[in-house]
Structure formats: structure tokens, C-alpha cells
């Protein structure tokens, strides 16, 4: 990671303003076109969630502002961030699973499936050695939502949060509710829009 000199950053005004808020998060939900992705998943027998996760995390890593975190009085930018997603357990609870989604897709799938099984056995809620490096991801596959509010700590952290809902058909398209929450002192609407643009591009090409 590298240190960002916010005193000379174009967003220095927004950074100083929004970092003082008790709730500094900006959240947006959009219905993303996954028509091609869904068909490709069915044809190849790929796990749906892990495939969507791969597209989302690589899309988020493509936007530098989404890789920025506040550490004390400094802002750092990671070269790449990992995902930490929820894994359902038989008793109705869940644990966390950390993944490196930067791997080539052919290597990623067997690796991710093995890590998920390992997480189920350990049932850990641990955020690892460097929680700031994580994108926090969860899924609510039982319903399609138009908005969602995620719990956050006090004092606020600066991790990006991503959530998927249940996909649905609209005309000849299959759409996926996709929510992203960011720390507004580090990201604006334009950075959120770039994330969605990158996600849909990856979903249409995988």
C-alpha cells in the first residue's frame, strides 16, 4: 500500500468535511444486467455466488478510491484488496471467508470452493491480519431489494461493503440487485458509478 497525501489531493475538501460525520457512509443499490453471466454459469456449472463475487471484487479493485482506507490520521491506498464474504452454516448462522479474487478465473474457482469449505469447518468470524484490506461482502439470495442499510462500527471504519440480492427477470434480461456502501470522505458518486460500469462489463464478458 502507499500513503496518499490528502493535503494535495483533489478531494481534500470532501475528505476533511465528511470524515467528521458520525455516519459518513454513502450507499447505492442498482439492478445490474447479469443475463450473459447467468447463462454462462448454467452452461458451465459454475457456482453462481462465487462467480458474481469474482466480478464484483475485481470491479471494485479497478477503482483506486475504493481501495483507499483511513488509518489513524493517514489515508492509504492498497495495491489490491481481498474479499471477506459470509458463508452460511447449518445452524442458520454464518462465518467469514477471505478470498484473493485477483487470480485467473480458472484458478480462482477451485481455490475459492476449497476456501469456503475450510471456512465452514473453522466457523471463524475473524477478519484476519489486516481488516482494512478487505471488501466486506454478503448476500441475501431470498429476496430482491431496492435498498439496504448495513451495520457499521463506532467509530466508523472505511471498508467498502457490497451486498447482492435475489436476481429477477425483467423483459428479456436478468437483473441482480447490487448494493455498495462507501466512506464518503474517500469516494463520491462518480467512483460508485465506475464500479457498476466495471461490474456489468465483467459480467457480460466472463
- 154 has a pLDDT exceeding 90: no
Name the grid cell of 112: 475459492
| Mean pLDDT, residues 153-160 | 92
Q: What's the confidence (pLDDT) of residue 128? A: 82
E-only strand ranges, 117-206 = 134-139, 161-164, 168-170, 173-183
Euclidean distance between CA atoms 92 and 206, whole angstroms = 32
- Beta pairing partners, 28: 180
Give the position of cell 440487485.
Answer: 177
Annotated domain spans of the chain: 2-205
- 150 has a pLDDT exceeding 90: no
101-110, 147-156, 176-185: lowest mean pLDDT where? 147-156
Euclidean distance between CA atoms 61 and 102, whole angstroms = 9
- Report whether 153 contacts 178 (CB < 8 A): no
Q: What's the confidence (pLDDT) of residue 133? A: 97
- 163 has a pLDDT exceeding 90: yes
pTM for the whole thing? Answer: 0.95
Name the grid cell of 107: 484458478
Please name which of 137, 149, 151 lies closest in space to residue 60, comparing C-alpha atoms.
Answer: 137
The per-residue DSSP string of 122-142 comes to H------S-GGGEEEEEE-TT
Please name which of 124, 47, 120 lies closest in space to residue 89, comparing C-alpha atoms.
Answer: 120
Homologous superfamily of the 2-205 domain (CATH): Chloramphenicol acetyltransferase-like domain (3.30.559.10)
Residue 127 pLDDT class (50, 70, 90 cuts): confident
Please name which of 206, 205, 203 lies closest in space to residue 33, comparing C-alpha atoms.
Answer: 203
Euclidean distance between CA atoms 187 and 65, whole angstroms = 6
- 129 has a pLDDT exceeding 90: no
What phi, psi does 202 have (nearest 5°)? -65, -40
Amino acid at each position: 500500500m502507499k500513503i496518499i497525501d490528502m493535503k494535495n489531493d483533489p478531494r481534500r475538501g470532501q475528505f476533511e468535511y465528511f470524515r467528521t460525520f458520525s455516519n459518513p457512509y454513502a450507499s447505492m443499490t442498482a439492478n445490474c444486467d447479469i443475463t450473459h453471466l447467468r447463462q454462462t454459469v448454467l452452461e458451465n456449472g459454475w457456482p453462481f455466488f462465487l462467480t458474481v463475487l469474482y466480478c464484483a471484487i475485481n470491479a471494485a479493485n479497478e477503482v483506486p478510491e475504493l481501495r483507499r482506507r483511513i488509518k489513524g490520521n493517514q489515508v492509504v491506498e492498497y495495491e489490491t484488496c481481498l474479499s471477506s464474504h459470509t458463508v452460511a452454516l447449518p445452524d442458520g448462522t454464518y462465518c467469514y471467508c477471505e478470498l484473493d479474487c485477483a487470480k485467473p478465473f480458472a484458478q480462482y474457482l477451485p481455490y475459492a470452493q476449497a476456501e469456503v469449505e475450510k471456512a465452514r469447518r473453522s466457523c471463524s468470524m475473524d477478519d484476519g491480519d489486516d481488516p482494512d484490506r478487505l471488501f466486506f461482502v454478503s448476500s441475501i439470495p431470498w429476496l430482491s431489494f431496492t435498498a439496504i442499510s448495513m451495520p457499521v462500527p463506532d467509530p466508523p471504519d472505511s471498508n467498502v461493503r457490497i451486498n447482492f440480492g435475489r436476481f429477477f427477470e425483467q423483459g428479456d434480461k436478468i437483473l441482480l440487485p447490487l448494493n455498495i456502501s462507501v466512506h464518503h470522505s474517500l469516494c463520491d458518486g462518480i467512483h460508485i458509478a465506475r464500479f457498476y460500469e466495471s461490474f456489468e462489463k465483467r459480467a457480460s464478458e466472463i
